[in-house]
Amino acid sequence: MEVEAYLGERDAASHARFGPTPRSAIMFGPPGRLYVYLIYGMHHCMNFVTETHGTAGAVLIRAAQPLNEHADTKSHSGPGKLCAALQINRSHNGLDLTCAGSTVFVVDDGFRVRRVASSPRIGIDNTGFWGRRLLRFFVAASPAVSGPRR
DNA sequence: AGCAAGATGGAC
DNA sequence: TCCATCTTGCTC
């Protein structure tokens, strides 16, 4: 399990940095919704909207451990690969993750995390303040982690 | 209207 | 190290 936090308008690396635009508007809405965008013209990335209505904030889901034992963890590690594996695309943007009727929703499966590690976010210019913040978090013992464990 | 950059991933 | 591929939002 691997995620990254994007802290809204003040975060120079967040899509919310320009304020509410057509693309980022979903991040300024109520929490518990899915924010999906296309990156580099070919990959999708998905985020969970986290802050209260009116304040932007989201968590990028970078990797997840598939419960299906036949599924390959590597194909679920990396934000683009995870969306490809789960067939998430922009048609899922704005989906209510708190509703069991949604095609994608969040539940508590009872798993309890032991140790969480952190690092700078991947793909962010690390010469600046926001590129150095430790806003990437991953379950230390999880095999579903993309990139360096530092 | 034009343009540069981008929260990536896979090939060389 | 390079590049496919196209959307976004800024600048002129």
For residue A7, the model assigns a pLDDT of 98
For residue A69, the model assigns a pLDDT of 87
CA of A45 to C1' of B10 (A): 17
CA of A29 to C1' of B2 (A): 32
CA of A39 to C1' of C3 (A): 15
What global pTM score does this model have?
Answer: 0.96
Mean residue pLDDT of chain A comes to 97
Q: How many CA atoms lie within 13 A of A136 on its CB side?
A: 23
A12 touches strand B (CB under 7 A): no
Q: Which of A55, A52, A1, A9 is nearest to A31 (CA)?
A: A52
Which single residue is written with the structure tokens 């962010």?
A: A124
pLDDT digits (tens, 9 = 90+) for A94-146: 999 999 999 999 999 999 999 999 999 999 999 999 999 999 999 999 999 99
A91 touches strand C (CB under 7 A): no
